[in-house]
Structure 1
Amino acid sequence: MPDGLWWLPSLVVFAAAAVALVGGLVGLRRLGARRERSALEQGRAGEVRAKGLIVQADNAVREAEREVAFADAQFGPEAAEALRTAVVAARGSLREAFILQQRLDDAEHDTAAERRTWSGRIEDLCGSALASIGEAEAALATRRHAERGAHSDLPALRAQSERLGRRRVEAETMLARLASRFAPSALESARGAVTRVDAALADGTAALAEAGAQLARSEPVADLLGIAADRLERADRDLAEVERFELALAGAQSEAAAEAAALDAELVAARGERDRQDDPDAASALGVAIGDASAVMASRSDVAGDPFADRDRLRAGRDRLEVARAAARNAQQRLDGARGALGGAIAIAESQLRVAEAAIERGRGVVGADARTRLAEAQRQLVMARQEPDPVAALDAARRAAARASDAEALAMYDALGH
């Protein structure tokens, strides 16, 4: 090999090493990517469990919140304090769980380790929330059982369960009859109450069956009877809500009719105010509100089968129209006030102008340009005040004229004293 190429073998060795290094790095990266994908797939089951627990915990918290209100009414705030505290703590845990679930659901790429950590944290938070609410509800159910007296007897609870079952059938018959007259949306709250009744009756019946079996074995049944009595009481409350629903529908129909009459009267008054309005912007805003309210009245047929929706839309339209009318009245009062004050403001400006002109006349050659400029501006503002059709703008111009004239007088006196 020529002496000038002594470096060539070294170059070949280094090149081969570089190629080997790059190949190794690429292989390691591919291996890491495969491992990451595998870890992500293995974590899917945990993420599904976490989602299910969030739903379960959220439902439990909502049900517990209703129980707090009932416990307050039944036993007083002190008896419901444990459940209320559990609900507050569970809500805090759920907030954190929802934030973590949002991270899992967003479009950003997360590592398998991060997703596994977040899923595990969600499971812990929801499990803790469910456990604390379950303990508090069990204590409350025991309290109800202890104070229920005769209702803790198994035969009496079975008889109560049978009565509730018959009422449940009657409630379904009533809802079927109402369904022929009203839209499904109008019956949603009653349907939800029936669903809660079914769940409570199922739980209560299961608890009574287990209590009967344990009683036959001479085993303690107080806890089971307390749970059964609590579930039957929930079913009784929800059934009472369903049974009052037809009256609630009739009341909503009457309220909707009253709201429609009130809104119609508001529209008549609003149209008169719009026609008498001097401020074009206020008149335009009031016209928009009148159009919206008229559209609500015209579209009543769209919700004719849902008196609750009809009543609520009429109320909302009436509220918006009342706000627009108040704004228009304020604008009109502002214009009327400006008209009333304009004459006096112009008189004050004219008087101040005469005083300033006299001060400049007395000073004559010693009064400088500043005072004369203020006087000219005051005269210009006074002309604007007399010619401006908008009373608010005219009032502002008259006040500026008086202020500029006062400045001119002061500057004239300053120049005269300085000379």
Structure 2
Amino acid sequence: MDLVLMFVAAVAVLTIGVVSIVVVIRTRTKRRRLENERKIAAHLAELEQRAGSSLVRADERIRLVDDELGFAVAEFGDAATTEFRAALHRARQRLSEAFQLNQRLSDHVPDTVDQRREWNERIVALCQSAESSLTEQSAAFAARRAAAHKAPSDIQRVRGEIERIRQSLPPSRNALAQLAERYSDAALDPITANPVQAERLLEFAERSTQVAESRLTRSRDAEAAAALHAAVESIRRAQALLDAIDSFEVEAIKAEAALTAMVAESHAELVAARQLPESARRARIDPAIADLEGALRALPPSDSLRDPVGSLSAVRQANTALDDAVAEHAQQADRRERMRAQLVTAIDDAEQQIAAARGLVLDYQVPVGPDARTRLAEAERELASLTEEREPESAIARARRAAGLGAEAAAIARADLSRAQGYGHGSYGSPRTGYGSTGSQVLGGVLGGLAIGGLLDGLGDLGDFGDFFG
């Protein structure tokens, strides 16, 4: 009996020991797994941040280099810039691929951790490759330009341009005041601050010319040329901001024309939808009818302040929803004819949404982050691809997708600008992830809500700008 008890006790002790060992092993395994997952998530977040910053830097670099190429062609001729043009073309192709990958990361389709890591790494590599392919060409022409330019006469020309644009500030402010009598605050939001920002850029350009003169007296020609280039780029951006005010009403009139066509189309869609059997309308069509009727009722009266682009977006969304709801009930022949008529309106809508988004990116540049730029690039690609479509239904779907992406790009760009203007520095956030830029890319911060960014690259000792940024 004693032996049996001893045996049972030994088995019990052994069992407890084994269970304890198993529990410890499982606990350690779980702890290691959780720690590994935390490290993977942290690495992925850092990688996404790098990818966002890389997209902005590469996009801005290509835009600046495009201007540099124009200067180089004007100064040295087409033959001397063949390699430069080829390098820029390759850089654009790489950036386009990077934007498409970023769009895949931002769309509604879930991505695995491995896909997110692989695509973000690819974005970083593509952007770095796009930038590096331009470095040698940019450096060579910068040195050639610095040697060839007659800086004193250029400085006088730049000062003349500054004065010319400064004289156009009062008419631009008057034009903005007149627009405010016809258009809503939401419609004018993209251009409301343009005169203030243009004036700030002119101040920067004037200071840059002073720096250029100072460097010339010390025989630092390369730095003088870089300062003068910063002045020229600031003047160009200031002029673009004022041009946006001049062109606003033309674009608004185009949007109103597209809206008029879409309203007429919507009324026709409503008539056709109401003629369907009640049993067919009950599930999706009746709610879509109500939504479109609500969007049409919400349009402001003709004698009130208007927002043509915003109204066009609202009606388009409701119109598209109703069209999708009734599509399965339409006769194929009638539907194809109706689609052909709708395609013109859909393309007009897409062009207006893309133009609004493109204006924000071109006018404000650095503060606009990668998600807005990605949506804009994807919208432009969708619109350009319409020539490949033979079926009107597919073409309309692409045009509407382009319009939607353009509207998203504009909304995200405005959010980026609001953050940049509110915080007064060069870090932005995005719906997907946050990112920031450091060093010369954001040196000088946001001037009047507009980042000078890479304009200061190549100036060397920046002590001459201390008073301006102080």
Q: Scaled by the length of structure 2, what TM-score is found?
A: 0.44
Q: Scaled by the length of structure 1, what TM-score is found?
A: 0.48
Higher-Rg member (1/2): 1
- Higher RCO structure, 1 or 2 (CA under 8 Å, sep 6+): 2
